Amino acid sequence: MVNRVEAIVTGSLAGHNSVRLIKGIPLLELPTNLCIGDLIAYEHKESQTEEGVKTRYTFAGADYFKRMKNLNLYTTDIEVLKKKIERMNLLNIFEEKLI
């Protein structure tokens, strides 16, 4: 993954999960019906191939942007996103005090 947004989200998830691991709490896995969960799963699957290792995975255009639109994951509507994340019980998940 190559851009700031991807680095921020995956880094935040990794840090959050490191605390969960130390505390013996199940790790947080973002669902694939959220674009970041799908990007992580898609990149993991594709990186197992020779061609996939050479690919840059980003929300900012290229092949993954097309995939987001095809899977109906792309939206700029904040209320739609908020409701979707609330339904998954993930709203403000990184604000949860683990330690």
Whether 1 shows a pLDDT value over 70: the answer reads no
Q: What is the pLDDT of residue 7?
A: 86
- Say how far apart CA 50 and CA 55 lie, in whole Å: 9
What residue type is 3 in one-letter code? N
Q: What's CA 97's distance to the chain center, in Å?
A: 20
Whether 3 shows a pLDDT value over 90: the answer reads no
Model confidence pLDDT, tens digit, residues 24-70: 999 999 999 999 999 999 988 988 988 888 777 777 777 888 899 99
- Say how far apart CA 29 and CA 38 lie, in whole Å: 11
Q: What is the pLDDT of residue 54?
A: 79
